[in-house]
Structure 1
Amino acid sequence: MKDTSNTATLSASSAEEKEKCTCFWKAAFFLISFFILPLVACPILGQAVQKKQLSEADYKEWGELITDQASPDRKWISFRMQYDGREETLYVRNVESLKTYLFPKVTRAEFTSDNNVLCMDKDKNLIIQNLKSGTKKIYSNVSSMNYSSPAHLLAILQSNSNFLQLINTNDSSVSTLPNVEKFVMSPDKKNIAFTAIHNNVNSVGLLNLMKPSPVEWIIENSPNSFDRLTWDDSSISIAFYGFTKPYCRNSILYFYNSLEGKCFELNPSGQSDFLRENYIDKDGRFPLRISQDAKKVFFSLSTVENRSSALTDVEIWNASDQFIYPLQKFKGNYIENKHLAVWIPEKKTFNSITSSSLPIGTLTGDDQYAIVCNPKDYEPQLDTDGPMDFYTIDLETNQKDKIVEKQSAIIYDLLASPSGKYISYFKDNAWWVYDIRKKTTANVTQKIGVPFSGKVYLNMSNNCFGAAGWSSDDSDFIIYDQYDLWKVKPDGSSFERLTHGREKEIKFRIAVENESDRYDFVYDRVKSKTIDLNQEIILKALGGDKKAGYFKWNKDVNEKAIVYEDLLSDKIYFLKNRDIYIYKEERFDLPPRFVLKEKNKKPKVVYQSNPHHFNFQWSKPKLIYYSNSRGQDLKGILYYPFNYDKNKKYPMIVNIYEYQSNRLHKFYNPTLFQSYGYNPPFLCSKDYFVLSPDIEQENGNIGGSALDCTLTAVKEILKLGIIDEKRIGLMGHSFGGYETNYIVTATDIFACAVSGASISDLSSFYLSIDKNFFKPNATRFQTDEQWRMGKSLFEDTALYLKNSPVHNAAAINTPLLLWTGKEDYHVPWYQSVELHMALRILKKPSKMLLYPNEGHTVEQENNQIDLSKRILEWFDYYLKCSDKI
């Protein structure tokens, strides 16, 4: 008989060990399944974790990441997440520790230099959050605030109090100044100018924030009220208006120089010429401004209007008028009766700078000359904005000199240099520089040999690529070609290419943290910024292959990449001397996020929006290449359906406009809240391919070129064998809607189409008025606008009829869904009605959606949902129902 005791013991032991082993692997599998696999694909198992299928109920979880500010030391950033139907919340996050403060109902923050952040919520509560200690103080009913970084003082006024409170952000101590009505902090943040009211008398005073000192009174105990306190850039002088009644038409102008302690007054009551025609207008269109040398005050004059004695309010439209009646009423009367004027207090002189004959005005960089022009110079004409003759006016002598004739009205095509020596302008495909004092002009690009104009704006043909600015003391003018930065001497004697983008088809542009950093707006036009070429410059880069990112440039090593990848980067904060960069990036399958890049360190994600996104199935985009019949190389985007199966063929929706390939890496939140019913993730989640091709417009053949580019793009995709050629739909909005209308008159390749807020009859559209801008729509048909007909309706009527879908409606066999807003004044809504009525009469399949109280796009949320769903239903019916295919 065998001894089995040990065997039994061993078997029991083995079973126990086996059970332990089984439990271990169960636990391990649990960990892998729930914690590891959702983050990475497992190469051992050979497959990724199954992701969720996106449903419309999930859409509400996606929010939009909106940038705000960065702290001076770039250790903190503020941003907000915007969700449909929810209250906004501001985030303030440390880029290193990721510590985060949340501020409900707040849209922007202001960082101080002493570890505080200031936020004002929608209920007028001021929040002072110390980012280091975590302490927080709240002040309610705050009507105005400003922060002095040199003095570490926060100045606030509360609506229920007339005490100006000065809060020390270091120790939280508070001092007050009574009877304050309004205050304005100086540009250097070291002084405050304020108005005070006590016992029905008014005063204006100055308060030094840097040291304890008594108020310096400019005016005391006056029966006049005071408003529009304005500092000069050097924080030495201040100008303001005085008036006897709140709605008094005529004002008194004051100027005070704090160094000299002198206050000057310009009172219309002592100036008879003011009383006859003009008055000092504190609410005029030219705000108060003090010149760079603090010797001139610029202000607004308005003309005394003559009351009409007419017995009727009939509108008189005269065909010979330079502006059509609506434009003259909206803009002409306004600019012609509101003038820019200059006062020189020391000399006791004043002059009107602009006039009814030259109503548009700006100033040179040093404020010593004015630049004036008249938008009616060559009206009536058929450009969107007619060319103008530009003049300089010497503000000391009042001498006027012509700079250039028939110059483009585009605001960035004529720029004053920062130091006041030159005026640059782009004309005849070249940059010119006018020397103000020498009164000479030089073509500064004629010897360079590359074009400085091309496709810049989506809705226009060729334009100037633009100017970056001027180097110190106006010594070099810095301009852009299609790819690179150039510096040229103002006399055109020499030039140098600063970057090397052309070789790699990378477009370089100077990056700014805020768009206001690109130009200085001075009244009606702009002046250039100063660029220090001896310091490092941050460049934004966009490649022909749609890679994007940022480079740093200096004169010794040229451009060097900070980040340059298959991503879209559109916001950057930086500390150049410390190589700290915080930028926002996104990709079609990667929601926007903030990334920190420091010298010799790997990039670090500071904030990832919509992290739940990675749990869902998503589409992928592909950049496609094709050529139209003219041999022009074009690009487009093909978005794949979610959970794409290579073994089956899919329906496809083609969305058209003009150039769309630059959106390759744009992330779209899935949503039904779309103002024109198009959302790639929404359509891709419904088992559609989506194609967005680039369209190269040909002058005089806008419909034909749209047809050509669209069909060649579709045929290129059909070669891939992934699309069912009988199940292709077409859609477009606005100009894309017109292109859709035209294309379905010329081909039956599309099983159905959707056209939003579109044009159908070029003849009637040509003779209509854009009620948004009060301009004739005829101006949109010249070569510089989107319609690019090149000829007027009366020069070639047949051309307009040929390109008008409504006149070719009999050829339409494609079921067409039209939609528009009944308050659309940009593209008249009855254009859609005309095409719908034509199709109705012809007994063609068509449906029209007309949304009351909506304009060129649909903005009411219930209407957005309705539009998105009806468009999908239209496509589903014609592209997925077997009896319709």
Structure 2
Amino acid sequence: MNKNLNLYIILLVIICALHSLKAQDNNDSINEKSFWNTVIPTKLSPDGKWAIISQTDNTSSKSNKTYFVNTKTKEKKEFSHLDHFYDYFLDDGLFIAKDNGKIIVHTLNHNDSLVISNIKNFDVSKQNQLLIYLNNEFDVSIMQLNEKLNRNKIILTKSNIQSFYLSKNSKHLILLSKDNKILHVNLSDFSIKKITSIDYSIEKLQWNIQQDAFLIKSNKNKFKLVDLNTYNISEIKIPFPEKTSAIDISFFSNNDLFISFNEITNQPIPETQYIDIWQTNSKHLIPSSFSLKYITLQKAFVYKTAENILTQLDTSNDTNYLNIGVPGFLLSFNPYLKQDFSTSNAIIDYHLFDIKKLKNIALLTTTTSKVFSLSKDNKHLLYPKTSDDAQWEILSFETLKKTPIIKGKSEKVNLTPIWSKDSKSIIYASNSILKIFNIEDKKIREIGEFIKANQGQKIYLINNKQKENNSQFLNLKSPLYFYVNSQTDNRIYIYEKDNLQHIYETDNIINLQTNFNNPYSDKANAVLFSIENYNLPPKILILQGRKIKELINSPIDPDLYSWRKKVEFTYSDKHKVTLHGSLLYPKDYNPNKKYPMIVNVYDLTFSNSLNYFTTPLPVASHSGFNPTLLSEKGYFVLQAQTYVSEEGATISAIDCTVNAVEKALIVEHAIDKENLGIIGHSFGGYKSAAIITGTDIFKAAIAGAGLYDILGQFNFAYSYMRLMPDWYRTEKVQLNFNQKYSENPEKYYKNSPLLNAYKINTPILLWTGLEDINVPWKNTQKMFLALKREKKPVIALFYNKIAHNLSRQKNEAKANIDLTYRIIDWFDYHLKNNKDIQWIENGLNLNKYSKSYL
């Protein structure tokens, strides 16, 4: 009895201890999240006095905290409970947030809020600090905002309103009453005038270029043009058929209109329900949905407002038109005529079309891009002359003469040309020199030189560019800010008073969230940005004028990352091309010990560069690859540049990578040359598999989502992502064969990982996502089968509902964590001789067999 009791007590103690350990593990995992919070510069207020800073724990793609930081005092206020305020960040510390049918007006300067409930819709005039909102009782109100909320004033309230429309310049407000009256509110004096009454629903209201007139399209395809200067109403009678698609309506600068649409006739094409036919001369290869289709007729018109004349344009032979806003002219083009699928976008001839003469009068450019920039005075058109943007020219609408400004050849464009606001100049950079082209005398002035940028990098303009009618304009009388990321250092420059100077220099990476929000304040002449590197978490700074001030640091304990060490070195291939390697050291590095090394390959540039600060959280991995986690696990991590030579991607990758490893072994003697691994994803996945067809220096390899079958799954494959044949991606782009298969089949064979898989001796882990249409997952299946046929050591992972990449996104996080651990397992098994990893041991042991239950 005592023995049983003692046994029971021992078991109870063990269970409690295990439970305590599990709880401790859970607590550690929870706390681990809070260890790795990093900050991101999100937005700067128009007056530059407050900045929005996001904080993420790096376990998901979303921010876990949001702060407003005073750029002068550094006072920090948390508003993580609110959302949808990025578009409504105003002067004087005011912002407006949406929250479940409510709008919240908050003043940061006075820490006060105003809540307005039962809101149906709202908009904000940033220029006038006006809040316009429509409640559920169909009352529209205009409130003048003040940083002291008790001074907010309702300027106007109008009842019985079903919808409203604010012009982009915030000068006009259009109201539609429930009894279908259209009212105009002049926001300069808040006067109201009835324009007209309608007997239909408004399907679309579209403002003109000057924002002083608008077009109404009804649900019955009726069109009315309203001029707010004269209150003249023009009814445009367009012969709209019963069924249409692809309706496009745009204004010219004189309020003329361009209208185009496809007329869907009643004439069916029965065979579209059961057959899809591709032909030798097909210029448009889109897989059929096998739904019944009807003959479609393309139609295009120009409506001349002053004369009330509608002119139909010729759309035969697939002629399309592009409205650039200049009265009397269009650009005409045929999108199919020169399509040969040799580029990602079709090569197109763009002609200047004279509307009065109804004919083309000049060929402007042959290019794959639709980049046409009109000067603010409508007198000149700026456009690239070639598809590579190496040559640019200007067309004068007064003389119809063309003037080249960038002639290509020895000029490399670093900054795309942009118009000045006064239409007198064009600013651009080529060969890392800032230049200004004068429209009147046709002369180019060199303003100053930027630091030489990396290959593939550009000079970036920070300023918020004014946009009108698809063109961008810069005020050259105000300061302009630029930044350049180079291999050695990164700089911010200022252009002011016809002079270019660099005002900030760092060896850290400079980040500006220009793609998402505005990091620049015109009023305050300020720039919000962050800096970081492999052992410096993101730190947010603000540049005001020429002064830099630190705002906020990422709240990470330095003990977690201060041990990190990285060494940069150069090496060369057999063609004497200089390349760069970055070597990250293992944690607790001891120069007297030996450590395995993992080599990461891609191309000349890396999206997951070791120069950035990364966290060791598995969910924060870049498609399973986490250099920080690997270094914490005791690995050297080498990121080695490769490129594509004339011999091909495989041949050059082998040469570059072997030379990189040899140089790394000279730089650091603690690297164990007997335990080397290689890893890559996408183009890096291709190269990782390709490299081990030509060398046995690696004991383990991992290749993710690679294009191994460059003939069957790439060169002679159809891309369901790009909706076109994929051969341009082998002949150009990354693989860059510069030849068709028929012109050099031997080159294709030598550079195909699939056709050379039989040469591989290195154990390789393959992985892909089953929803990958960028590099179809069949590539991985074929590579696996080629290796299995030769009984080579290989395991393939096929992730369900995963596309080309894995990240912290909710639908990808689980797979990303799983892959991260499997990558560590794979290298531990082969490079650290940890043979207790059963999924690998059972999968590679030819003395056993396995069955797939998937």
Alignment partners' CA distance in 2, 1:190 and 1:416:
24
* TM-aligned CA distance change 1:339 to 1:265, over 3 Å: same
1:206 has 2:184 as partner: yes
Partners of 1:129 and 1:196 in 2: how far apart?
30
Partner of 1:810: 758
- Give the 3-state SS of the residue equivalent to 1:806 in structure 2: coil
> How far apart are residue 434 of structure 1 and its match?
3.3
Match of 2:308 in 1: 348
> Structure 2: how far apart are the matches of 1:334 and 1:541?
53
State which drifts further: 490-499 or 689-698.
Answer: 490-499
Shift of 1:260: 0.8
Equivalent residue number for residue 416 of structure 2: 467
Q: Distance in 1 between matches of 2:312 and 2:730?
A: 37
Find the counterpart in structure 1 of residue 600 from structure 2. Answer: 655
What corresponds to 1:409 in structure 2? 368
Shift in alpha-carbon separation, 1:504–1:193, aligned structure 2, 3 A: closer
Partner of 1:226: 202
Structure 1, 836-845 or 529-538: larger mean CA deviation = 529-538
Residue of 584, 598, 614 corresponding to 1:668: 614
- C-alpha distance 767-532 of structure 1, shift in aligned 2 (>3 A): same
User: 1 CA distance for matches of 2:643 and 2:374?
Assistant: 34
Deviation at 1:711, TM superposition (A): 1.6
Alignment of 1:726-765 (within 5 A): 726-765=674-713
- Quote the residue 1:384 is aligned against: 344
Superposed, which structure 2 residues align to 1:67-78 within 5 Å?
67-78=41-52
In 2 relative to 1, CA 334–126 (structure 1 residues): closer, same or farther, beyond 3 Å? Answer: farther
Q: CA separation of 1:472/1:403 partners in 2, compared to 1, >3 Å: closer, same or farther?
A: farther
1:116 has 2:61 as partner: no
2:448 pairs with one of 485, 489, 499: 499
CA separation of 1:296/1:184 partners in 2, compared to 1, >3 Å: closer, same or farther? same
1:145 CA drift (Å): 1.8
- C-alpha RMSD over aligned residues: 3.3
Question: CA separation in 2, counterparts of 1:211 and 1:490?
Answer: 39
| Partners of 1:723 and 1:104 in 2: CA distance | 49
Evaluate the alpha carbon distance shift between residue 383 and residue 492 of structure 1 in structure 2; reply closer, same or farther with a 3 A threshold: farther
- Judged with a 3 Å threshold, the aligned counterparts in structure 2 of structure 1 residues 714 and 372 are, in CA distance, closer, same or farther, namely farther
For the Cα contact (< 8 Å) 1:823–1:852, is it kept in 2? yes
1:421-441: CA deviations, max 9, x gaps?
Answer: 133323384333333443333
Give the drift of 1:366.
Answer: 4.3
Give the SS at the match of 1:316.
coil
Match of 1:605 among 550, 567, 572: 550
| Corresponding letter in the other structure for 1:542 | N
Shift of 1:354: 8.4
Q: Are the structure 2 counterparts of residues 376 and 610 from structure 1 closer, same or farther at C-alpha, using a change threshold of 3 Å? A: farther
Structure 2: runs of 5 or more not aligned:
1-27, 837-854
Cα separation, 1, equivalents of 2:296 and 2:382: 24
Q: How does 1:319-358 map to 2 (within 5 A)?
A: 319-326=279-286, 341-351=301-311, 355=315, 357=317
1:396-429 deviation per Cα after TM superposition (whole angstroms, max 9, x unaligned): 5544223246x220344x5444443133323384
Percent identity reads: 23
Whether 1:422 and 2:381 are equivalent positions in the alignment is yes
CA pair 486-646 structure 1, distance change in 2 beyond 3 A:
same
Distance, in Å, in 1 between the alignment partners of 2:328 and 2:294 is 26
Choose between structure 1 and 2 for higher RCO, CA contacts under 8 A separated by at least 6 residues: 2
CA distance in 1, matches of 2:312, 2:555: 56
- 1:559 alignment partner in structure 2: 501
- Secondary structure of 2:306's aligned partner: helix
1:223-262 matched pairs, under 5 angstroms: 223-244=199-220, 251-262=221-232
1:262 shift after superposition: 0.6
With the length of structure 1 as denominator, give the TM-score of the two structures: 0.81
Partner of 2:114 in structure 1? 137
**Structure 2 counterparts to residues 505-520 of structure 1, below 5 A:** 509-513=459-463, 517=465
Aligned residue among 437, 462, 465 for 1:488: 437
| Residues 64, 669 of structure 1: 8 Å contact kept | no
Secondary structure (helix, strand or coil) at the match of 1:719 reads helix
The within-5 A match list for 1:169-184 is: 169-170=145-146, 171-174=151-154, 175-184=156-165
Contact 2:642-2:652 within 8 A present in 1 as well: yes
Distance 1:509 1:376, change over 3 A: same
Supply the distance in 2 between the matched residues of 1:163 and 1:55 (Cα, whole angstroms). 51
2:360 aligns to what?
A: 400
1:205-253 deviation digits (Å, cap 9, x = unpaired):
211233343x322222x32111322223433212121224xxxxxx111
**Amino acid across the alignment from 2:102:** N
Q: Tell me, in whole angstroms, the C-alpha distance in 2 between the residues paired with 1:378 and 1:337.
A: 22
Range 859-868 or range 723-732, more displaced: 859-868
Cross-structure match for 1:873? 825
Measured in 1, the distance between the counterparts of 2:297 and 2:351 equals 20
**Residue segments in structure 1 that go unaligned for 5+ positions in a row:** 1-53, 245-250, 453-463
Q: Does 1:93 align with 2:69?
A: yes
CA distance in 1, matches of 2:339, 2:794: 42
Q: Which residue of 2 aligns with 1:187?
A: 168
Aligned residues: 783
Counterpart mapping for 1:647-796 below 5 A: 647-660=592-605, 663-673=609-619, 674=621, 676-699=623-646, 701-720=648-667, 721-765=669-713, 766-783=715-732, 785-796=733-744
Could you list the per-position Cα deviations for residues 668-688 of structure 1 after superposition, in whole angstroms to 9, with x for gaps in the alignment? 233322451112212222111
Matched-pair contact (CA < 8 Å) for 2:341–2:725: no
Question: Following TM superposition, by how much is the alpha carbon of 1:579 offset from its aligned partner in structure 2, in angstroms?
Answer: 5.6
Work out the CA distance in 1 between the residues paired with 2:42 and 2:656. Answer: 40
Q: Which amino acid aligns with 1:789?
A: F
Q: Rate the CA distance shift 1:614–1:208 in 2: closer, same or farther, 3 A.
A: farther
Q: CA deviation at 1:833?
A: 0.8
CA distance in 1, matches of 2:297, 2:577: 50
- How far is the alpha carbon of 1:796 from its aligned partner? 2.3
- After TM superposition, the structure 1 = structure 2 runs for residues 307-322 of structure 1, keeping only pairs within 5 Å, are 307-310=267-270, 313-322=273-282
Contact 2:49 2:93 in 1 (8 A): no
Structure 1 distance, partners of 2:484, 2:819, is 37
Is residue 587 from structure 1 mapped to residue 533 from structure 2 by the alignment?
yes
| Aligned with 2:256 (options 288, 296, 307) | 296
Equivalent-residue separation in structure 2 for 1:336 and 1:780 (angstroms):
32
1:238-294: per-residue Cα shift (whole Å, max 9, x none)? 2121224xxxxxx111111111111111134xx4xx44xx87x6x8453x443333x
Pair 111,575 (structure 1): closer, same or farther in 2 beyond 3 Å: closer
Does residue 412 of structure 2 align to residue 431 of structure 1?
Answer: no
* Equivalent position to 2:233, from 250, 263, 281: 263
Which of 624, 629, 648 is matched with 2:569 structurally? Answer: 624
Which TM-score applies when normalising by structure 2? 0.84
Q: C-alpha distance in 1, partners of 2:818/2:47?
A: 47
The code of the aligned residue for 1:182 comes to S
CA shift, 1:742, in A, is 0.8
Three-state SS of the structure 1 residue aligned to 2:618 is coil
Which residue in the other structure is 1:374 paired with?
334
What is the CA-CA distance between 1:782 and the residue it aligns to? Answer: 2.4
Name the SS for the 2:624 alignment partner: coil
Alpha-carbon separation, structure 1, partners of 2:304 and 2:224: 11
What is the one-letter code of the residue matched to 1:879? L
Query: Does residue 1:549 correspond to 2:491, yes or no?
Result: yes
Q: Is the 8 A contact 1:90 1:107 kept in 2?
A: no
SS, match of residue 872 in structure 1: helix
Shift of 1:642: 2.6
CA separation of 1:632 and 1:150: change in aligned 2, threshold 3 A = closer
Contact kept, 8 Å, 2:685 with 2:704, in 1: the verdict is: yes
**Amino acid corresponding to residue 308 of structure 2 in structure 1:** K
**Once structures 1 and 2 are overlaid, which stretch shifts more, 337-346 or 684-693?**
337-346
| Structure 1 residues 73-111: Cα deviation after superposition (integer angstroms, max 9, x where no partner) | 201011322443577443222112214141425154322
Distance 1:60-1:135 versus aligned 2 partners, 3 A rule:
closer
How far apart are the structure 2 equivalents of 1:519 and 1:336? 35
